[in-house]
Structure 1
Amino acid sequence: MNPVHKKFSRRARVATGGAVLAVVALAGFGAVNANASAPATSSAAATSAAVPARVTTTSTHLTIDAATEAAQAALDAAEKENQRVTVAVVDRNGNTIVTLRGDGAGPQSYESAERKAFTAVSWNAPTSQLTERLQQAPTLKDIPGTLFLAGGVPVTAGNAPIAGIGVAGAPSGALDEKFAQAGAQAVGR
């Protein structure tokens, strides 16, 4: 047995061990309590700094109301000619804002309308014009998410694309594009 243990009785060793455990427990509780009451700071907040205006940009986007109005105008134009189409409006980044599927529109029209809108806003040109560019650059059609068929038109503000409108489901791309133009014109009213 250890000579130090011989000096203390069993009762003294138990009492000392209990006291040590109590001190350790209270210290741990105090640390937890202090952490619980201290305000939380994230490392991102601690290292954030004001960014000068020269390193940021501002972009213009359609409101949901304007996008819905444009989509409805395109759908109304199609319905006047008894065409069953789907209309999609995407923002400058190609994200869908609104899609309206007309009564009786084919199942393929939903994705086609979104892809035409995406293509129009990506190149800031009607998709009917872009189909002509394929003759000089046929690999353009390989870019994911694009569809080089007539029926998509860009919506611009200050000559910069802010949205795309795509229509699909009419018997011709020329009709799809005519209805998409009606939607774009509704934004300007």
Structure 2
Amino acid sequence: MNPVHKKFSRRARVATGGAVLAVVALAGFGAVSANASAPAAKPAATAAASAGATTTSTHLTIDAATKAAQAALDAAEKENQRVTVAVVDRNGNTIVTLRGDGAGPQSYESAERKAFTAVSWNAPTSQLVERLQQAPNLKDIPGTLFLAGGVPVTAGNAPIAGIGVAGAPSGALDEKFAQAGADAVAR
């Protein structure tokens, strides 16, 4: 056995070892505490957000979208028209669709596509039909339908939703009903 160990009793060695462990643990805790209290570097996402790399956008609520769709459907029913109304968000995702009693099966998809087209170009689809004369390839863009009956809903001149109506005998009527829906949101 080591001569140093012979001088200390077993109890003294255990106590000394415990004291050494306590000092090491406290030193480690102090280092961790010091690091935890030092200001951390900003994460990349926080740095990007504070540098203006994000935007804020306005969206139509489900209540407002439902109000708009119901107003468009009511306007059509007053004129004995059987239509489907679709409201899409800024990204073209459907928020609400109301299919009126007796509306044709083709009207569902047509209403959604008219709403998508109106919000995508921030213009009534009747105006976009006229643009096809100068740019006929526009009609090839997936999900669009260049027939009158879709109108955008805007906030600060930026499109936030689109309303599409399909099923009336003319696109002019469809667009009239879609505009009634947009007007209901504006009130």
TM-score, with structure 1 as normaliser: 0.75
Secondary structure of the 1:89 match is strand
Q: 1:19 to 1:114 in 2, by over 3 A?
A: farther
Q: Which moved more, 1:58-67 or 1:29-38?
A: 29-38
How far residue 52 of structure 1 moved from its aligned partner, in angstroms, is: 1.6
Aligned-pair CA distance for 1:116: 0.1
Seq. identity, % = 92
2:167 paired residue number: 169
Distance in 2, matches of 1:178 and 1:120, equals: 14
Shift, 1:37, TM fit: 24
**CA spacing shift, 1:45–1:106, aligned 2, 3 Å:** farther
Deviates more, 1:31-40 or 1:167-176: 31-40
Q: Structure 2 vs 1, CA of residues 47 and 76 (structure 1 numbering), >3 Å: closer, same or farther?
A: closer
Identify the range of structure 1 (172-181 vs 52-61) with the bigger mean alpha-carbon deviation. 52-61
Q: 1:49 to 1:21 in 2, by over 3 A?
A: closer
- Compared with structure 1, are the counterparts of its residues 45 and 141 closer, same or farther at alpha carbon in structure 2 (3 Å cutoff)? same
Query: Once structures 1 and 2 are overlaid, which stretch shifts more, 25-34 or 178-187?
Result: 25-34
CA shift at 1:51, angstroms? Answer: 2.8
Structure 1, unpaired ranges of 5+: none
Change (3 A) 1:23 1:153: same
Alpha-carbon distance change, 54 to 14 in structure 1, aligned in 2, over 3 angstroms:
closer
Give 5+ residue unaligned stretches, structure 2: none
**Are residues 29 and 188 of structure 1, via their aligned partners in 2, closer, same or farther at CA, if it must alter by over 3 Å?**
closer
Cα RMSD (Å): 5.0
Deviation at 1:50, TM superposition (A): 6.3
Runs of 4+ off more than 4 Å: 1-40, 43-50
CA offsets, 1:105-155, max 9 Å, x none? Answer: 000000000000000000000000000000000000000000000000000
Change (3 A) 1:111 1:10: farther
Taking a change above 3 Å as real, the CA distance of residues 7 and 123 of structure 1, as seen in their structure-2 partners, is same
Name the count of aligned residue pairs: 187
